[in-house]
Structure formats: C-alpha cells, structure tokens
C-alpha cells in the first residue's frame, strides 16, 4: 500500500484503499481505483487533474457526500464509510466546512447574517472573539452590513469562506472556489485561504483545475484515471502545468492506441 504522506504533521483525514465505482457490468466507471492518501492537519492541499480524473469524486467521498464502493476513510477517530446518514449529517454540520464555486449566499441577508447562518440554523451561539478574528483575517470588517448584491465576487467568496469557518470545523473542503472569479479576485481569495491555514490553523483541501491556484497550497496532488499520479510539496504553477500537460499527452497517446471501432454495415441502423 502506497500512502502519500508527510509524517511531520498529524493526520486530518486519510483514505485507505478507497474505491468508487459508478454503474454496473460493462458500463462501470472506476472513478477511484484503490486510492491511498493522507492529508495533514493545519495544511493547505490542492487536488488537480483533468476533467473526469476523479478529483471531485475524491472530495465528495472524503466529505461523506458520496458513498464509497470499497476501502475506508478515517476522520476524527472514526471510519466515515461505516457511518449512517444521520451520523454523516451531524459530522458535516459540526466538523466539516464547505466552500463552493457558486458562493451560495442568501441574498436577503447581510454578510454578517450569512456568515453566522450555520450557527443560526443549528441554534448555537457564535463565539464573538472567533467571529472578529475571522472577519479581520478576511478583511470584512467594513462589509458586514452589506448584502451580497452590494459586494464584489471576491468579497462574496470571502464571506463564504468565513461562513465555512465560523463553526470551527476540523476540515474545510473548497470545490473550485475561484472558478467564478476574475484573476484579481481569485488571487485575493487564494491569499485569504492561505492565511486561514497559517493564521487560523485551518485544514483546507481544495479541488481546482488551475495550476496558479494550486501554487498557493502547501502541497498539490495530481489525479488521473482515478489514481494519484503526482504528489508535490511546495508546488509552483510551472511544475503543476507541466504535470497536467504530461497527463494530457499520456491520455492522448492512450486514446490513439485504442483499437478503432468497426463501422456498422450499411443500413444496419435501419434494420434495428
């Protein structure tokens, strides 16, 4: 078993021989093929890969949003793959935060109300010291009374980040968090994610297709065909672009080597 790991940091979450299949028989899609990977606490990790590589499936399975076909996911002292729906719901509510590409802010509420929404829905009181630290780190002090339509895209995503962190989750998943942003706003959000890890001791796992976004992370994993094909510490945009290009070329060569599909005899479709 080849587990990608760095023993200098404690484990936040770990996948062991993780398998995820979709469909059955000849139509089976092997999205995850026995993945072994350990993510470190207090670190910012990016997961990259071509479309259909399995990177989003890995994130959804780690977060308990999708069930595994085989293997185990060890998190917070338990095995996620053995939990029922109620246990998973409680786990996500208390221990896991989510940042999405579409900010998912409620338009009728202010930035402050949106940030506090997870606690409001759970009936919990906010830790005001933590709230102040979050909004200071994310530069939102002057925007708390604004509604989403009064904020830029970058500011909306920063509100979404604060919302994901307000309940002090052990782990935060970010799914293409800069996908709807321009380059300036993207850099702003990525810098704040990095600061959240360094200054607030958060653990963030980010799925992205952008090599520049991955360069903000402490570590970047490249996925292809449901497997980890590269694991880079202190990634740069240049290195990640090279790795992605190599995977695209390999996939193209594999497609050329596949045997051609025999053409149907003339009129075959009409005889069906």
CB neighbourhood size of 155 (10 A): 22
Residue 26 inside a domain? The answer is no
- Are 218 and 197 contacting, i.e. CB atoms less than 8 angstroms apart? yes
Residue 146 inside a domain? The answer is yes
> For residues 223 and 241, what is the distance between their CA atoms, to the nearest angstrom?
13
Residue 102 falls in which region: left (phi positive, over 0), alpha (psi -120 to 50) or beta: beta
Each residue of 58-79: pLDDT tens digit?
A: 999 999 999 999 999 999 889 9
pTM check: above 0.85: no
Residue 71 inside a domain? The answer is no
Residue 15 inside a domain? The answer is no
Element holding 253 (H helix, E strand):
helix 237-257
Residue 184 φ/ψ, nearest 5 degrees: -70, -50
Tokens 């760095």 found at: 6
Residue 32 inside a domain? The answer is no
- Residue 9 contacts by C-beta under 8 Å, 6 or more apart in sequence? 40, 41, 42, 43
Number of domains making up the chain:
1
Residue 52 inside a domain? The answer is yes
Picking from 20, 108, 95, the residue whose alpha carbon sits closest to that of residue 61 is 20
CATH number, domain of 239, equals 3.40.50.300
> For residues 214 and 45, what is the distance between their CA atoms, to the nearest angstrom?
8
> For residues 247 and 227, what is the distance between their CA atoms, to the nearest angstrom?
12
Give the residue ranges of the chain where pLDDT is below 50. 1-5, 261-272
- Are 223 and 214 contacting, i.e. CB atoms less than 8 angstroms apart? no
Tokens describing residue 215: 């360069």
Picking from 226, 221, 196, 225, the residue whose alpha carbon sits closest to that of residue 211 is 221
- pLDDT of 67 reads 93
Residue 130 inside a domain? The answer is yes
Collapse the DSSP code of 236 into the 3-class scheme (helix H, G, I; strand E, B; otherwise coil) and give the result: coil
- pLDDT of 3 reads 43
- Residue 220 contacts by C-beta under 8 Å, 6 or more apart in sequence? 45, 46, 47, 48, 214, 230, 231, 232, 235, 240
- pLDDT of 2 reads 40
- Residue 271 contacts by C-beta under 8 Å, 6 or more apart in sequence? none
Residue 271 inside a domain? The answer is no
Which domain does 214 fall in, by range? 41-66+83-254
Tokens describing residue 183: 């380059």
> For residues 56 and 45, what is the distance between their CA atoms, to the nearest angstrom?
14
Query: What are the distances in angstroms from CA 64 to CA 42, 76, 128, 200?
Result: 20, 13, 29, 24
DSSP state of 212: H
> For residues 16 and 34, what is the distance between their CA atoms, to the nearest angstrom?
7
């Amino acid at each position: 078993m080849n587990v990608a790991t760095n023993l200098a940091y404690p484990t936040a979450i770990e996948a062991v021989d993780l398998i995820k299949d979709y469909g059955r028989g000849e139509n089976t899609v092997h999205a995850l093929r026995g993945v072994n990977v350990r993510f470190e606490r207090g670190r910012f990790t990016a997961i990259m890969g071509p479309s259909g590589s399995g990177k989003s499936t890995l994130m959804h399975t780690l977060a308990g949003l999708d069930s595994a076909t085989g293997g185990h996911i060890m998190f917070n002292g338990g095995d996620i793959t053995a939990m029922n729906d109620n246990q998973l719901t409680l786990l996500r509510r208390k221990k896991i935060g989510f940042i999405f590409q579409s900010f998912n802010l409620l338009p009728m509420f202010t930035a402050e109300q949106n940030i506090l929404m997870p606690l409001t829905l759970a009936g919990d009181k906010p830790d005001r010291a933590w709230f102040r630290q979050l909004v200071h780190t994310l530069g939102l002090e002057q925007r708390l009374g604004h509604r989403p339509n009064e904020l830029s895209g970058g500011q909306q995503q920063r509100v979404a980040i604060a919302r994901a962190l307000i309940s002090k989750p052990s782990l935060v998943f970010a799914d293409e968090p800069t996908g709807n942003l321009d380059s300036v706003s993207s850099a702003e959000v990525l810098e704040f994610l990095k600061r959240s890890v360094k200054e607030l001791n958060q653990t963030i796992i980010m799925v992205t297709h952008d090599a520049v976004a991955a360069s903000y992370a402490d570590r970047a994993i490249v996925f292809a065909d449901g497997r980890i094909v590269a694991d880079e510490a202190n990634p740069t945009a240049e290195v990640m672009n090279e790795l992605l290009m190599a995977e695209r070329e390999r996939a193209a060569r594999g497609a050329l080597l596949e045997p051609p599909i025999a053409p149907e005899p003339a009129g075959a479709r009409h005889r069906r």
